């Protein structure tokens, strides 16, 4: 993902070159027990799960076919041809009167470079009712073991404006760095001018940071987000607001390093 060592757009500042397809696959063990529940039934319970890392995509869990609740799977006619993984065959999950259409897939005849996919099933995270990483329920998707979130207090002075309106000013923000994403500055709620903000109905879930709620400013929607009760890795930004620098101006003073990606506008930012 992003600018990582195996990314399609990896940095040139390396003393090696990777001779590999544009879409790269890495099949790697997931280090903990995983369970998925649908309609009150356990579809899978495994300590042998594998994560398929694929260029530009979120890691996808694959489970040995023998460890799936096979009697709940019904083959469908859906097929998708993939040049790197082979033809994808789909299955629906049926539990009593509930059906998750095309929620499970397999590659029964993958190309030789991806032959290790044979005998495994992929499962749609969103199609299941609940997922558990060991005994902890997880949301959004399983956490990539190579993904990390760091928060650091910083003395950068930051000012957020929308036109002539000042939305926030702070000299005590927190900088959040996350694998594959631009740095983000988070501002204490006390330094945000709440009278100019309107709560938004939007809510998103990040498996690394938690559940975010948003605010609007006038007719500009989802200007900023916060994590009221973030997960442990993002505990340093609990209740702090981060502003979308494609919708408002996020400026910092000269104490910030020139060209810092946390402070300049980016052409194609990724949402939290």
The enclosing domain of 87 has a CATH number of 2.170.150.40
Mean pLDDT of each 10-residue bin along the chain, 272 residues long: 69 76 89 96 96 90 92 94 94 95 96 95 96 94 92 94 94 93 94 90 94 94 96 95 95 58 42 46
Cβ atoms 121, 63 nearer than 8 A: yes
Q: Which of the listed residues 106, 138, 170 is the one where a domain comes to its end? A: 138
- The domain total for the chain is 2
φ/ψ of residue 246, rounded to 5: -95, -10
Query: Based on the domain organization, do 130 and 193 belong to the same domain?
Result: no
Same domain, 171 and 122: no
* Edge-to-edge strand list for the sheet holding 130-133: 41-46, 34-38, 130-133, 136-138
Domain assignment of residue 5, yes or no: no
What is the extent of the structural domain holding 189?
149-252
Are the beta carbons of 2 and 179 closer than 8 angstroms?
yes
Check whether residue 92 and residue 171 sit in a common domain. Answer: no
Cα 57 to chain centroid, rounded: 9
pLDDT for 255: 56
Is 68 part of a structural domain of the chain? yes
pTM listed for this prediction: 0.80
Q: Among 9, 25, 124, 122, which Cα is nearest to 83's?
A: 25
Find where tokens 């003393």 sit: 15
CA distances from 271 to 16, 49, 85, 212, 233 (A): 31, 28, 29, 11, 18
Of 138, 167, 185, which residue sits at a domain end? 138
């Amino acid at each position: 993902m992003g600018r990582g060592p195996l990314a399609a757009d990896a940095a040139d500042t390396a003393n090696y070159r990777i001779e590999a397809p544009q879409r790269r696959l890495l099949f790697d063990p997931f280090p903990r027990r995983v369970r998925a529940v649908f309609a009150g039934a356990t579809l899978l319970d495994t300590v042998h799960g594998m994560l398929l890392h694929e260029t530009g995509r979120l890691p996808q869990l694959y489970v040995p076919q023998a460890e799936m609740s096979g009697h709940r799977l019904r083959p469908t006619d859906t097929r998708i041809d993939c040049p790197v993984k082979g033809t994808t065959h789909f299955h629906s999950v049926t539990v009593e009167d509930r059906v998750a259409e095309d929620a499970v897939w397999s590659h029964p005849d993958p190309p030789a470079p991806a032959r290790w996919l044979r005998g495994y099933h992929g499962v749609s995270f969103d199609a299941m009712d609940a997922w558990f990483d060991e005994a902890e329920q997880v949301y959004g998707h399983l956490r990539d073991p190579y993904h990390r979130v760091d928060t650091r207090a910083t003395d950068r002075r930051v000012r957020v404006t929308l036109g002539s309106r000042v939305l926030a000013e702070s000299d005590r923000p927190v900088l959040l760095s996350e694998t594959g994403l631009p740095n983000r500055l988070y501002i204490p709620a006390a330094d945000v001018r709440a009278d100019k903000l309107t709560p938004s109905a939007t809510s998103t879930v990040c498996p690394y940071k938690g559940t975010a709620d948003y605010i609007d400013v006038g007719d500009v929607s989802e200007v900023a987000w916060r994590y009221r009760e973030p997960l442990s890795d993002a505990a340093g930004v609990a209740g702090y607001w981060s502003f979308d620098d494609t919708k408002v101006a996020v400026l910092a003073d000269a104490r910030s390093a020139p060209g810092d990606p946390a402070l300049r506008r980016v052409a194609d930012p990724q949402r939290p």
